[in-house]
A and B are shown apart, each in its own frame.
Chain A
Amino acid sequence: MVYGKNQWKAWLYLSPALILLAVFTVWPIFNTLRMAFLENYGLMSANGGATFSFGIGNFLKVLQYKKFLNCLGNTMLLTVLTVPISTILALLIAVCLNSIKFLNRFLQTVYFLPYVTNSIAIGMVFAAMFNIVGNITSADLSETGNIIVTSGIINNIIEFFGGQPISWINAKSSYAANIAVMVIYIVWNALPFKILVLLGGLQSVNKQYYDAARVDGTSRARIFTRITVPLLSPMIAYVVITGFIGGFKEYSSVVGVFGVNMGPVGDAGRLNTMVGFIYDALENDNQGRASAAALILFVIIFAVTMLNLYVSKKKVKY
């Protein structure tokens, strides 16, 4: 390889990016590792001249925290529920969309709309939709939490179809109802990207496979499972992996619906997530614990991604 005479020029062009990356990306990796292994490290006390002994106390404390286990449970539950639902739904939508001509572009645009929204702002809209509106006092809620006075559009729709209204996100609402709201919102939010990727994949599939199948008289269901899904498997693997990574980093959609309290009134933190736990620790001047939690999050994401890659290596056909 012959290098140009002006090698310094290349480094000059690289320097802004390299300096910024060194300060705000490379240094944080080392420093976060360091803080995670310093017992009870806090910024205030560090600035005050305190010294910290080396150890794994932060990790042990984090893993023993009920709060952390709650955050971990919420995050896992939301991820495990939303990734399959949104992937299957997106696959169905993409296949249907690919089979029609009339309204195709219009529907594509409509389905993409949730992507260009602010997840906090639209979370507030979902909160308004699931909310019980009106002057509800605790007297209106019976012992079991059934609503006597009700409104709110989602409950109206449920009542219209003959169902019982539910307290979705208000005080005394059940955990299952809270999770249901979050799953609906996260799936709504996650669909556009998945549809876009899967539809792109479908459009690049060679039509000959389908023609051959049609000649052979293959049924639609069989075409779907034997041709479409295998041919799309790289894209499916891609949206599943990015879905898992995004799911484990879930935070702002919960803030959107439930506010910074991360739970219904009277039960703050009930729906807190891993990322939320990290920020709480940071704001409580507990950088050591925040770092330990962030490393645990990183290890989980890394392990799940590797597992996904391993599975998809076996299952992805092309």
Chain B
Amino acid sequence: MDNKIMTQKDLTEVKRLQLAKKIISKFLVYAFLIIIAIAVLFPFYWMLNSSLKDRAEYELSIPTFFPRNPMFSNYVDAIKAANLGRLFINTMIVGISSTLLSLVVTVLTAFALARLEFKGKNIVFGGMLATMMIPGELFTITNYITVNDFGWINTYKVLIIPFLVSVFYIYLLRQNFLQIPDELYLAAKVDGTSDLKYLWRVMIPLSLPTLISITILKMMGAWNSYVWPRLVANDNMHKLITNGLRSTNLVYSDGTTNFPVQMAAVALVSIPLFLVFIFLRKYIMKGVSRSGIKG
């Protein structure tokens, strides 16, 4: 054994160098990835850390990295001051109803475009896809006038209806429906099954992952939407959570921003999203990689 190594001394030397090189490059790769991970996580840590401090501790010139005396009361203050309970209810009403309605519309449209034959189908589908190129701001200007004319300002309708139809979701679901073999549909037709029953019993179960992705992205959209709600719904009964968070001034009596309570409010708005992400990670990442749409 010893003898053999001696005779292959050069080879061992080369191998050792290669191994050393490999270990160093692995170390560098991990070091880089972990530094990035820390940079990604730091704002979340700092949000939680700050949200549990009192004013004196928050304003120390040398910050503490763990709250000395956790102030859970900041969270109670945040809920009260920013009216988070009401904002949460409003957002859930809008999120759930717009998601359900959007699913119904998307499923029906995708079904017609994927499974039924009719004149003008390609024109309808092509026209829908063409609208995807136009930035949303172009629609917003006129839609603002339209909802004004309808008298919808400060209602739930204005938050649910105008952006209900997403051409992208229709496209996504249509592609999914197209993968379901025609034979299934024809067999169902022979058996006298109605379209809607077939849709409900066969197509929807088979494309459940896509439907779940759409549901999550739509709910996240309602939770994160800011621009349109701020434009059209600013009363307490209809204000959505992101708008409420940004427009509430959490200040001390001397007028400076009360950062601990503000960070508590931010944490309360962020945590539901994290919970959804932890439980439905697979669907979110799949949906996002295909869409590239944030919210």
* Chain A residues in the interface with B (C-beta under 8 A): 1-4, 7, 9-11, 13-14, 16-18, 20-21, 23-29, 31-32, 35, 43, 89, 92-93, 96-97, 99-100, 103, 107, 109-122, 124-126, 128-129, 131, 133-135, 149-151, 153, 156, 188, 191, 193, 196-197, 200, 220, 238, 242, 245-246, 249, 251-252, 255-256, 259-260, 275, 278-279, 282-283, 287, 290-291, 294-295, 297-298, 301-302
Indicate the size class of the contact surface on chain B. Answer: 35 or more
B76: Cβ under 8 A from any A Cβ:
no
CB distance from A296 to the nearest CB of B (A): 11
**Interfacial residues of chain B within 95-148, with CB under 8 A of chain A in the complex:** 104-106, 108-109, 111-113, 116-119, 121, 124, 128, 131, 133-146, 148
On whether the beta carbons of A115 and B43 are closer than 8 Å, the reply is no
B7: Cβ under 8 A from any A Cβ:
no
Q: Is the interface of A mostly helix, strand, loop or mixed?
A: helix
On whether the beta carbons of A196 and B285 are closer than 8 Å, the reply is yes
On whether the beta carbons of B39 and A111 are closer than 8 Å, the reply is no
**Interfacial residues of chain B within 13-69, with CB under 8 A of chain A in the complex:** 25-26, 29-30, 32-33, 36-37, 39-41, 43-44, 46-47, 50, 58-63
Contact among B133, B162, B227 with A24 in the assembled complex (CB-CB below 8 Å): B162
Task: Tell me the complex Cα distance, A100–B86, Å.
Answer: 46
On whether the beta carbons of B40 and A191 are closer than 8 Å, the reply is yes
Task: Tell me the complex Cα distance, A10–B165, Å.
Answer: 17
B224: Cβ under 8 A from any A Cβ:
yes
Contact among A10, A25, A107 with B116 in the assembled complex (CB-CB below 8 Å): A10
Contact among A9, A133, A188, A259 with B195 in the assembled complex (CB-CB below 8 Å): A9
On whether the beta carbons of B246 and A291 are closer than 8 Å, the reply is no
On whether the beta carbons of A120 and B226 are closer than 8 Å, the reply is yes
On whether the beta carbons of A13 and B112 are closer than 8 Å, the reply is yes
Extra inter-chain contacts (7) besides given A10-B117, A135-B59, A251-B227, CB under 8 Å:
A17-B165, A28-B138, A97-B33, A110-B37, A122-B270, A275-B137, A297-B138
Task: Tell me the complex Cα distance, A278–B143, Å.
Answer: 14
B94: Cβ under 8 A from any A Cβ:
no
On whether the beta carbons of A255 and B162 are closer than 8 Å, the reply is no
Contact among B128, B142, B256 with A32 in the assembled complex (CB-CB below 8 Å): B142
On whether the beta carbons of B262 and A128 are closer than 8 Å, the reply is yes
- What are 24 A-B contacts with C-beta separation under 8 Å? A3-B118, A16-B105, A16-B109, A20-B165, A26-B131, A29-B134, A31-B142, A32-B138, A100-B30, A109-B281, A111-B37, A118-B223, A118-B245, A124-B245, A125-B44, A128-B263, A151-B59, A156-B62, A200-B289, A245-B135, A260-B247, A278-B140, A278-B141, A287-B145
Please tell me which stretch of B175-183, B206-214, B271-279 contacts chain A, meaning at least 4 of its Cβ atoms lie within 8 angstroms of it.
B271-279
On whether the beta carbons of B46 and A153 are closer than 8 Å, the reply is yes
CB distance from A227 to the nearest CB of B (A): 17
Chain A neighbourhood of B119, CB < 8 A: 3, 7
Q: Which residue of B lies closest to A278 (CB)?
A: B137
Task: Tell me the complex Cα distance, A120–B145, Å.
Answer: 26
